[in-house]
Structure 1
Amino acid sequence: MEKLEGQLNGEDAPTLVVENLKTHFFTRIGAVKAVDDVSFSVQAGEILGLAGESGSGKSITGFSILGLIDPPGRVVSGAIRFKGEDLVTASPERLRGLRGNRIAMIFQDPMMTLNPVLRVDTQMIEAIQAHRKMDRKAARQRAYDALEMVGIPSPGERLNAYPHQLSGGMRQRVAIAIAFLNEPDLIIADEPTTALDVTIQAQILHEAQALCKRTGTAMIWITHDLAVVAGLADRIAVMYAGRIVETGETDDVIDRPLHPYSVGLLGSVPSANKRGERLNQIPGMTPNLIGLPPGCAFKARCPRASELCNTTPDVSELIPGRKIRCHHPHLEEAAQ
């Protein structure tokens, strides 16, 4: 609690600052600019929603922060400052010490976290003892408390179970409990509720939000669905073709999106369309990231595109707290 109070009083810098990050994959036919000049920050206890279509670079951004980019990919330039330490220049040994300890990740498939042939207690105890000098009894109690914290009923029974004996929602709760085990400063959640039914999804979103506020853990919640982060995130960063095109407070982005792509994403949500009418959708497909044409990557799908869009727009703050990368933003809606 002392750590959280200090962070909330502004004694510490942002938990994570990403500056001009570029992560490219070098193939025989060219370089894939999966992440291209991405910048954002996350404060202690804050949840940042990183939203966009499949292939927009969201997950690669998360993997870049964790140092999990394998050849032919690599971080080309930029900085990833975690608690003031640049992770881009950190050694593999240092990154291994941070992963699962100070920085944790929750995957879309909980079986990427859980070993199917080991009991839950064995896996959680090992995750604790890998980073803490703690005897098995104390570690098991900590695992029990973590399961209880994420709302798992009869945690003692779940500790003795194998992953295949748990439902999908229960497995994902266990994965979230493991992420919070060592009280990390940062958690990256890569669409962890996509495969779950809406009731379980809502419960997990509520639990994740409450845990971050209580522990002071910063979280990046990666999603393709803006509706998911609407009630979860404090801020939203919308990503397209490897770049963040809009950032702002959640209510502002949801109620008054500025970038035409954000407008299209929100218009594609079924609840935003009148009953009986055709579903609004963004025309075309996400562009091939190899050899993108000059200018705005969204111009071929944008109803507002003009000759000016053949030049790359800079990031601007036309409204306080709203950062946008666009030549023709929806300022008229924002002014209403």
Structure 2
Amino acid sequence: MNGTTPTPVPTLEVRHLRTVFDTRAGMLKAVDDVSFTIGRGRILGLVGESGSGKSVTGFSIMGLVDPPGRVAGGEILFQGRDLTKMSPRELRALQGNRIAMIFQDPMMTLNPVLRVDTQMTEAVQAHARVSKDAARERSRETLAMMGIPSPDERLLAYPHQLSGGMRQRVAIAIAMLHRPDLIIADEPTTALDVTIQAQILSEVQKLVQQQGTSLIWITHDLSVVAGLADEMAVMYAGRIVEQGSVDAVLDHPLHPYTAGLIGSLPSNNRRGQRLHQIPGMTPNLLHLPEGCAFAARCPRVGSACAAQPGLTEPLPGRQVRCFYPAVQGTQA
């Protein structure tokens, strides 16, 4: 024994992930060279506009990309094992058990013609050899853990008898049934009012702390990430353009796109003035420009931007894909 502590294996390590869709118009690069790592009990906020590739990243990790889409390259290491090399049977053993996903629409999780108790007990028994009574008890405990009042009544309800917020809580409870090591949440609170959203975020945060679960929270809402996540990665046109701790990125954005997103928040604009906005549109992923995908919308564009920027680390713990990052005056 040399007394050195072995480095813990991260829950998830994504290396140079590429996911493409083969269309009649050509190959669409939905996710292009995406890499990030999540440790145990950590929350990563994956942020970007619609079409930035953040949801496809989540589906790629879960093995839920269907033709004409496919994972075309890279590694997805879950506790050191590459998910892209697993057989369908090995993947199924992990899905819903060690890795779970919460969708934006809870009805993607819930079957409208089955009672909640039937759906939850079946989900338990799919991965654990327990009696129906034990499965039902675990279902009831998990609903209570999600802050759902009268869990016994909710178990007897059909999805249409529940409010939107309650349906989403049940969907999250189903994801938590097996105390998974990794949860991928794809904008699950977007359609809910802010009060319900705040309650669910608080409950999810508590569960992550208690269970040591790692969480990827996919969203376009920076205010959610600010209060929830430990680290954040900002995606644009299929690539991560900035990455770092939440406080560091929000306080001192290095990439002009991140700065534009933060600047367009209503709280960062004076009352009565027009909202700041990023000019132009997200480029078509089928016809990306040769150089930087953000160049046409960028206030800092320069001659170097005709080439494609690589990911650099201008400050400790901060990664950015930009030739002209706003490093001056920032702190790590």
TM-score by structure 2 length?
A: 0.97
Alignment match, 2:269: 273
Whole-angstrom CA distance in 1 between matches of 2:225 and 2:180? 21
Query: Judging changes above 3 Å, is the alpha-carbon distance between structure 1 residues 249 and 335 closer, same or farther for their aligned structure 2 residues?
Result: closer
Contact map agreement 1:113 1:175 (CA 8 A) in 2? yes
Q: AA paired with 2:23?
A: T
Whole-angstrom CA distance in 2 between matches of 1:266 and 1:10? 39
Q: 1:27 aligns with which of 23, 26, 42?
A: 23
Alignment match, 1:142: 138
Q: 1:306 aligns with which of 299, 302, 305?
A: 302
Unaligned runs of 5+ in 2: none
Q: 1:282 aligns with which of 278, 281, 304?
A: 278
Whole-angstrom CA distance in 1 between matches of 2:171 and 2:329? 41
Residue 159 (str. 1) matches residue 152 (str. 2): no
Matches within 5 A, 1:191-202: 191-202=187-198
Q: 1:215 aligns with which of 201, 211, 218?
A: 211
Bigger Cα displacement from structure 2, 184-193 vs 288-297: 288-297
Q: AA paired with 2:262?
A: L
- Aligned to 1:184, the other structure's residue is in SS state coil
Q: 2:42 aligns with which of 27, 36, 46?
A: 46
Q: AA paired with 2:278?
A: I
Whole-angstrom CA distance in 2 between matches of 1:106 and 1:225? 17
Q: AA paired with 2:15?
A: E
- Aligned to 1:33, the other structure's residue is in SS state strand
Residue 330 (str. 1) matches residue 326 (str. 2): yes
TM-fit CA distance, 1:264:
0.5
Unaligned runs of 5+ in 1: 1-8
Alignment match, 1:55: 51
Residue 261 (str. 1) matches residue 257 (str. 2): yes
TM-fit CA distance, 1:95:
1.1
Q: AA paired with 1:219?
A: L
Runs of 4+ more than 2 Å apart: 9-12
Contact map agreement 1:48 1:221 (CA 8 A) in 2? yes
Whole-angstrom CA distance in 1 between matches of 2:22 and 2:59? 17
- Aligned to 1:331, the other structure's residue is in SS state coil
Contact map agreement 1:31 1:291 (CA 8 A) in 2? no
Bigger Cα displacement from structure 2, 323-332 vs 41-50: 323-332
TM-fit CA distance, 1:10:
7.0
Matches within 5 A, 1:87-236: 87-236=83-232
- Aligned to 2:261, the other structure's residue is in SS state helix
TM-fit CA distance, 1:258:
0.7
What is the root-mean-square deviation of aligned Cα atoms in Å?
1.2
Q: AA paired with 2:134?
A: A
TM-fit CA distance, 1:291:
2.7
Whole-angstrom CA distance in 1 between matches of 2:226 and 2:239? 21
TM-score by structure 1 length?
A: 0.96
Whole-angstrom CA distance in 1 between matches of 2:200 and 2:277? 28
